[in-house]
Structure 1
Amino acid sequence: MILPKFTGSREEQARGLAKAMVGLYCEKMEEARESVYAGGRTAGLEALEKFRVQGYAGTRNKLKGNVSRLSFYIRHGVLGIREVAESVRERFGKSYDAIKFWQELGWRQFWRHLYGLWGDGIYEDREAPKVPLGNGTDSVLLAEIVEGRTGLVCMDETVRQLVETGYIHNHARMWFASFVVHFKKLGWKAGERFFYRHLVDGDPASNALSWQWVASTFSHRAYLFNRENIQENGGK
């Protein structure tokens, strides 16, 4: 989010700021819950030290694969991308797994640069879609999805985990986004806002542009999945 420059009296500026930040925080006390993840610099450094890159390249797409779980700390500035990359290089050298991990860090940095260039333009289609997209805003259908009432265990479980923990695996994020955009034909912006509201590691650039990548408004093709893809990567 890039905040506009507010003018007027102190009260008018306060109202403008409050309006701009709607949806960023819990609006009801019952929505607030203690994070299951420890925050702070000490916890971030401990998590970085515990991460072992071996097997990352071959298993990172599996829900139980070897992923770093460092995105929370990078997102909130507790750990720097260069710092994380250097730590992996010093401990594991230039292995294939390390290189693949650096590439993923590179994507995150790339999104950040685009955010700096485009600002709130990341929330608008960057390209024409490569497949027909719906622009559905069906509130009943959206509620069914985000409340975990689709009847599809894989999607409903994704919602439950996201809301309860603030985190889901990146591959699960892609499946869910594809389900919302391509199967249910809802506009990608509704799903993007839902993710950003709940993800502890929710990064404006990575989140919005990843949804666009799935939708094909920032990629050369749409991202689709099937049952076999979930079965292959979901349980191992």
Structure 2
Amino acid sequence: MRQVLPTQFASRSDLVAQVVAISPDLLSTDAMPANKPTDRAVSDILGGADEAELALQLWSVRDYGQTRNHLDGAVSGLSPYLRHGVLTPHQLQQACLAKLSLDESQKFLQQLSWRDYYHHIAQQYPEWLWQDVESYKTGFSVVDYAEDLPADVLAAQTPEAFINQLIEQLYTQGYLHNHARLYLASYLVHWRRVKWQVGARWMLRHLLDGDTASNNLSWQWVASTFSAKPYIFNLDNVVKFAGAVTTFDLTPANNPALDASYETLQLRLFPNLTAGE
């Protein structure tokens, strides 16, 4: 006999309990050690059409273009609703244009266009979602990259405090600012030399807005298999874009591998590249 599941709950905790009851494996993943409190975290992001509409109304569209690259910038936070069909790209476009002129809306509309572009690429070349589009442009071949995530990465206990905080946020919130996703992807591929596919699969597992096309092709862009060169960053860049997010530990002593100039990192991360490359 088919079980009829409840659709109305007195509180969110009751909803969470119901989800856990029908999906107990959610509490026993290999993402975090069992003794870590974040292993059983529930994201602060609320689902549902009402929450999506409220978030859309509260979004400061006007500030988006100027601050979107900052970790505390006026990003919409609407991607989980977009990913699961609660909101559509057309709704976001219309909501943006209702508040701003076409010229003022350009930056946000560009991001929607990028999403659309990635989906068209995935439709045309589905094999590109998990296969290298091009060779790595890092001086290394594909066999030089690991097939598994390092244990310290899975446990959010790398030597880099900032990276650990991004991993913790991924685990507890199921969401990262796009710039933070690039930082984390870059660290895994170029500092730890992990295959982008491994990192992309791991991130998709935890993201509430996990979109395979946008996620994987962005990882390829970072890795340099879908771009002209690898994407790297340094601690100065993080400090520049961290803004007023004071919860991040950006001290050089606690982020030793990130605390270097781009010239130094280029030589350190890609020693096989010649000056001409």
TM tier, smaller: 0.7 to 0.9
Matches within 5 A, 1:180-219: 180-219=188-227
Q: So what's the TM-score if we normalise by structure 1?
A: 0.83
Q: Is the 8 A contact 2:42 2:172 kept in 1?
A: no
- Secondary structure at the aligned position of 1:217 is classed as coil
Q: Which residue of 1 aligns with 2:10?
A: none
Please state how far the C-alpha of 1:234 moved relative to its aligned partner: 1.6
The reply to whether residue 107 of structure 1 matches residue 114 of structure 2 is yes
**Deviation for aligned residue 1:52:** 1.8
8 Å contact from structure 2 (residues 41, 171) kept in 1: no
Structure 2 partner of 1:84:
92
Answer with 65-74 or 38-47: which moved more.
38-47
Higher relative contact order (CA closer than 8 Å, sequence separation 6+): 1
Corresponding letter in the other structure for 1:68: S
**CA 1:174–1:79 in structure 2 vs 1: closer, same or farther (change >3 Å)?**
same
In structure 1, the partner of 2:258 is none
What SS is found at the alignment partner of 1:87? Answer: helix
SS in 2 for 1:54: helix
Q: Which residue of 2 aligns with 1:137?
A: 146
Q: Distance in 2 between matches of 1:145 and 1:44?
A: 32
SS in 2 for 1:207: helix
Output one character per residue of 1:120-143: Cα deviation in whole Å (capped at 9) or x when no partner: 43110112222224643264x622
Q: Is the 8 A contact 2:147 2:195 kept in 1?
A: no
Judging changes above 3 Å, is the alpha-carbon distance between structure 1 residues 83 and 138 closer, same or farther for their aligned structure 2 residues? closer
- 8 A contact 1:146–1:194 mirrored in 2: no
Q: What is the one-letter code of the residue matched to 1:145?
A: V
1:26, distance to aligned residue in structure 2 (A): 7.6
Contact 2:175 2:209 in 1 (8 A): yes
3-state secondary structure, aligned to 1:149: coil
Tell me the matched-pair count. Answer: 210
Q: What's the TM-score, normalizing by structure 2?
A: 0.71
- Bigger Cα displacement from structure 2, 29-38 vs 75-84: 29-38
Match of 2:182 in 1: 174
Task: Give the Å deviation of 1:183.
Answer: 1.2
Give runs of aligned pairs for residues 33-52 of structure 1, distance below 5 A: 33-52=41-60
Cα 1:26–1:79 change in 2 (3 A) is farther
* Structure 2: segments with no counterpart, 5+ residues: 1-22, 30-39, 245-277
* 1:121 alignment partner in structure 2: 128
Structure 2 contact 42–173 (Cα < 8 Å) conserved: no
When Rg is computed on C-alpha atoms for both structures, the one with the higher figure is: 2
Q: Distance in 2 between matches of 1:57 and 1:163?
A: 28
Judged with a 3 Å threshold, the aligned counterparts in structure 2 of structure 1 residues 26 and 115 are, in CA distance, closer, same or farther, namely farther
- 1:146-199 per-residue CA deviation (whole Å, 9 max, x = no partner) reads 221112111000000100110111111101111111111111111111100100
4+ aligned runs moved over 6 Å, structure 1: none
Structure with more helix by fraction: 1
- Indicate whether 1:29 and 2:36 are aligned: no
The code of the aligned residue for 2:174 comes to G
% identity of equivalent residues? 36
Q: Secondary structure at the match of 1:85?
A: helix
In structure 2, how many angstroms separate the alpha carbons of the residues matched to 1:44 and 1:72? Answer: 9
- Tell me the CA shift for residue 145 of structure 1: 1.3
1:222 Cα deviation from its structure 2 partner: 1.2
Following the alignment from structure 1 to structure 2, what is the Cα–Cα distance between the partners of residues 55 and 200? 24
Instruction: Give me the whole-angstrom Cα distance separating, in 2, the residues matched to 1:186 and 1:234.
Output: 25
Q: How far apart, CA to CA, are the structure 1 residues paired with 2:91 and 2:139?
A: 42
Structure 1 match to 2:15: none
